[in-house]
Structure 1
Amino acid sequence: MRDDQRPVRQRRVFHIPGYDPIHPRRYRELYRTEGAKQAEIGGYEIAVKAAQSEDTFRWAVKTRIDGVETVARIDVLVWSDIVRKSMAQTIPATYWQLLRTAWIYIATGTLRRLMWMRKGPVIAALYPVFMLLGQLLIAIVLGLYLGGWAEAGVLWFQRLFGLTDGFFFALFGWIGFALKCAILLGMVLTLLHWFKSKDSRLYAYYLMHDYAFSAGKWGATPPELQARMDLFAETIAAALSSDVDEVLVVGHSSGAHLAIAVVADLIREGRVPTDGPRLALLTLGQVVPMVSFLPDARELRRDLAFLAGQDRVAWVDVSAPGDGCSFALCDPVAVTGVTPPGKKWPLILSASFTQTLKPETWRKLRWRFFRLHFQYLCAFDQPKDYDYFQITAGPVSLAERYRGRAPSKSRIDVPASKYTSLAP
């Protein structure tokens, strides 16, 4: 195993994004633009260029920091096509997802237990439920209002021509009722389609699909995604047998629990050579409890317990209370209730947006919840010991960078999950 204190000259980075339908090209462009900003603030040099890969999306980075040149290759797990496929749902199917997902989280007691820790991500989870139900209610109320007027118009026409006896009375009654129902149905369909067309701003359908995807297997990983993760693990294993100084796996958002699973499998399967590159894990803005608290997430709970007790991989978890879409400063192992004897990881750190961003930047971003959720991958005005670009492309390994660093005093490490069983 390489010495952590030696400067990192070559690094392989493997980024696992969260539930995102957009092609990973966006991550390269984000890295390029934000990296340039961070380098200007930090007084170092960084250059980003595209690179070729058959199984991943890749780019290359070269930095010069404190006189040391480092070259990194960053590979992104491509599963945006799986996300888009899961989002290709009709409006009725989305409302069925709403009912099913709500039932899973409520009936298992998971929703209540998640609220014990952080209300922000739970509110984010409830947002699409109330937003979609609100859209349906608006459409129904408006449809009933307009349909009522149409029905009243038919009855007025009936009285105007004196068609109030026997057959005509029943006929116009049915015509008015049928017209009312038709307008109600048409208004509901029209308004719901209109609301869906505006979802790039409302995020109701996107978030609903996200939570439905995570809960669809009651916490187990969908087979199609697992196959993609296994292929990605093969690429990481090959890097661990190469002549680089560090292999860093990064999981962001819901990609954090995927990264945990991939790294745990690599160690268990003996694919981490003792004399090879140092392997490290960085989880950012994680939402692990949304999955690990579900009844069938036994494999994830096993992976959490395994990684927490091993000494082969340095695992650092970074979040910020200002990020309302993550379980900020929640130790994913401890809150899941699977803490092993002699627990070593993860090291829980705060990106502390209110301190690392200038007041004007914070005012600009604080209500842009989705943008804040990506701040871990962006430049900070006043970075402390968290600089995403130095971590992924700088000369200091993750283990050495945070050696001796105390965990955040505000971390939450009280067991909260009802389900703690592990896969064999």
Structure 2
Amino acid sequence: MNPRVVAGETMTGQPVAKRVVFHIGGYDPITLHASVQRRFVREIARFQRTWSVKATVDGSHDTADQMQWNVTTIGPDWLVETDYRLVRWHDVIEVFGERGIGSRISVGILAFLDFVLAGTLWRYLQTNWRYALFFLYPFVTFGLLVAAAFLIGVAAYKITGSIPIAAGGGLFGLAAALAGPWRWLHLGDLFDDWIFSCEYIRFGNSEIEQRLDRLAAELVVAASNSAADEILVVGHSLGAVLAVDLLDRALKLDPELGRKKIPVTFLSVGSSILKIGLHPKAVRFRRTVERVANSRAIFWGDYQALTDVLNFYKCRPMAEMGLSTENEATVRVVKISRMLNDDMYQRIRFNFFRVHCQFVSGNDRRTSYDYFMLTCGPISAKSQTLAPDGAVSMIADDGGLIAGAPVSESELLGSPGAAA
């Protein structure tokens, strides 16, 4: 037997050979099958270069609920087959985007007022002021565009003294703002994001709930009958909220989920769990989070980053929601600047959406967080999350498994300030 494999087993348990991944992305209206798979293939190519491994993506298969493909990753002494399932909800997102612009603006402003008057904005400020700025950004920016249109009208009146011309100038300025900056700055998508979030908190979404019910049944079957060594559920951004909902539904179908044949790991990355959980009316969601956290058989790792303003940095999700911290998430704080080459990081550092997407992109450097190593690598996602440097000390320069100290319970990084 290859001594490297023996060493890997000593450190991490039996290396993963088969894995099933359920990935739920954030509120991203660009989720057409071709573009999503192309992006996955492009980013896994970076993973191959960084970790000196090989990967192939094939067997694409679509259903109404998910896009599914197979990933085979190979190192000198290991091979992993990943059944990768991307949960679809672009159709729900598209419904919000198809509303008339007047409806999107008016309902978006009502959603904004809902979060402000309910005290959620104040909770954002107390928990993570950067996220509060992200919340304010689309609405303040839209307000500035309206103000600019009004000033155009005022200027037209001062020049011509004509009220009709002034009104026309103001309307022209508003139309120009909606035709240009509204689209360029993705304000429509951001308005829709908050509209969806408000409706999800107060009423739920029947289309998504039915889909999650079907996927929960698939998850239970996979955890009971598949040949996988690990079931991994990944929720990115607002997808982390839906991932919690998915796991809760699976637990209702099988309260022993994760205790039987196959371990289940949940990773929330760049998470928006507190975006929903801090709203006073999100009682149903907080109960859902608590049930999932209290299932000791499901390991929960939460990855956060300072430079990602779309996540909650240095926060303990359970504590911030006022829930019991007895079984809280293992929080890992990571640095996106360490994942990328310097020139690449400098290019994207002020593109907040691109920085946010680094949680699901390939890395240029080996570091404690690597999306593709977690989803397609030979070390379990739980072991990588518990290890202080992720898989870095477990993978040799040539991509093979290497020996190291066992991961112990004392190394569990529950402190939100623990930098990776």
Structure 1 length normalisation: TM-score? 0.83
The structure having more radius of gyration, on CA atoms, is 1
Q: Which residue of 1 aligns with 2:413?
A: 407
1:103 equivalent in alignment to 2:113: yes
Using the TM superposition, give the Cα deviation of residue 57 of structure 1 relative to its aligned residue in structure 2, in angstroms.
0.7
1:379 equivalent in alignment to 2:362: yes
Contact 1:199 1:206 (C-alpha < 8 Å) held by counterparts:
no
Which deviations, in whole Å up to 9, do the C-alpha atoms of 1:27-46 show, x marking residues without a partner? 32222111111211111111
SS at match of 2:127: coil
Residues 189/199 of structure 1: CA separation in 2 closer, same or farther (3 Å cut): closer
Q: Which amino acid aligns with 1:242?
A: S
Which deviations, in whole Å up to 9, do the C-alpha atoms of 1:133-188 show, x marking residues without a partner? 111111122133325544x3xxxxxxxxxxxxxxxxxxxxxxx54x3465156425
Contact 2:258 2:297 (C-alpha < 8 Å) held by counterparts:
no
Q: Which residue of 2 aligns with 1:6?
A: 14
Using the TM superposition, give the Cα deviation of residue 410 of structure 1 relative to its aligned residue in structure 2, in angstroms.
4.5
Tell me the distance in 1 between the aligned counterparts of 2:363 and 2:283: 37
Q: Which residue of 2 aligns with 1:268?
A: 252
Using the TM superposition, give the Cα deviation of residue 245 of structure 1 relative to its aligned residue in structure 2, in angstroms.
1.4
Contact 2:268 2:303 (C-alpha < 8 Å) held by counterparts:
yes
Contact 2:153 2:167 (C-alpha < 8 Å) held by counterparts:
no
Q: Which residue of 2 aligns with 1:332?
A: 317
Residues 388/336 of structure 1: CA separation in 2 closer, same or farther (3 Å cut): same
Q: Which residue of 1 aligns with 2:398?
A: none
1:254 equivalent in alignment to 2:238: yes
Residues 273/392 of structure 1: CA separation in 2 closer, same or farther (3 Å cut): closer
Using the TM superposition, give the Cα deviation of residue 94 of structure 1 relative to its aligned residue in structure 2, in angstroms.
2.7
1:347 equivalent in alignment to 2:355: no
SS at match of 2:96: helix
Q: Which residue of 2 aligns with 1:245?
A: 229
SS at match of 1:379: coil
SS at match of 1:216: helix
Residues 217/266 of structure 1: CA separation in 2 closer, same or farther (3 Å cut): closer
Q: Which residue of 2 aligns with 1:159?
A: none
Using the TM superposition, give the Cα deviation of residue 361 of structure 1 relative to its aligned residue in structure 2, in angstroms.
2.7
- Of 18, 27, 34 in structure 2, the residue corresponding to residue 19 of structure 1 is 27
Residues 148/230 of structure 1: CA separation in 2 closer, same or farther (3 Å cut): farther
Using the TM superposition, give the Cα deviation of residue 122 of structure 1 relative to its aligned residue in structure 2, in angstroms.
1.3
1:222 equivalent in alignment to 2:205: yes
Structure 2 unaligned segments of length 5 or more: list them.
1-9, 387-406
Tell me the distance in 1 between the aligned counterparts of 2:306 and 2:347: 17
Stretch moving more, 327-336 or 3-12: 3-12
Using the TM superposition, give the Cα deviation of residue 111 of structure 1 relative to its aligned residue in structure 2, in angstroms.
0.4
Tell me the distance in 2 between the aligned counterparts of 1:274 and 1:349: 24
1:65 equivalent in alignment to 2:75: yes
SS at match of 1:206: helix
Contact 1:316 1:345 (C-alpha < 8 Å) held by counterparts:
no
Tell me the distance in 2 between the aligned counterparts of 1:218 and 1:353: 30
Structure 2 length normalisation: TM-score? 0.84
Contact 1:256 1:283 (C-alpha < 8 Å) held by counterparts:
yes
Using the TM superposition, give the Cα deviation of residue 217 of structure 1 relative to its aligned residue in structure 2, in angstroms.
4.5
Tell me the distance in 2 between the aligned counterparts of 1:338 and 1:400: 26
Q: Which amino acid aligns with 2:22?
A: F
Contact 1:219 1:292 (C-alpha < 8 Å) held by counterparts:
no
1:54 equivalent in alignment to 2:37: no
**Counterparts of 1:196-211 in structure 2 under 5 Å?**
198-211=181-194
Tell me the distance in 2 between the aligned counterparts of 1:313 and 1:94: 38
SS at match of 1:98: helix
Q: Which residue of 1 aligns with 2:42?
A: 33
Stretch moving more, 265-274 or 307-316: 265-274
Structure 1 unaligned segments of length 5 or more: list them.
153-175, 413-424
Q: Which residue of 1 aligns with 2:299?
A: 314
Q: Which residue of 1 aligns with 2:134?
A: 124
Using the TM superposition, give the Cα deviation of residue 113 of structure 1 relative to its aligned residue in structure 2, in angstroms.
1.2
Q: Which amino acid aligns with 1:79?
A: W
Tell me the distance in 1 between the aligned counterparts of 2:182 and 2:56: 35
Q: Which amino acid aligns with 1:201?
A: W
Which deviations, in whole Å up to 9, do the C-alpha atoms of 1:270-305 show, x marking residues without a partner? 162643321111111001111111233122111222
Q: Which amino acid aligns with 1:38?
A: F
Which deviations, in whole Å up to 9, do the C-alpha atoms of 1:68-106 show, x marking residues without a partner? 111111111111111111122333223312331221111
Contact 1:219 1:295 (C-alpha < 8 Å) held by counterparts:
no
Count of aligned pairs: 381
Identical counterparts, % of pairs = 23
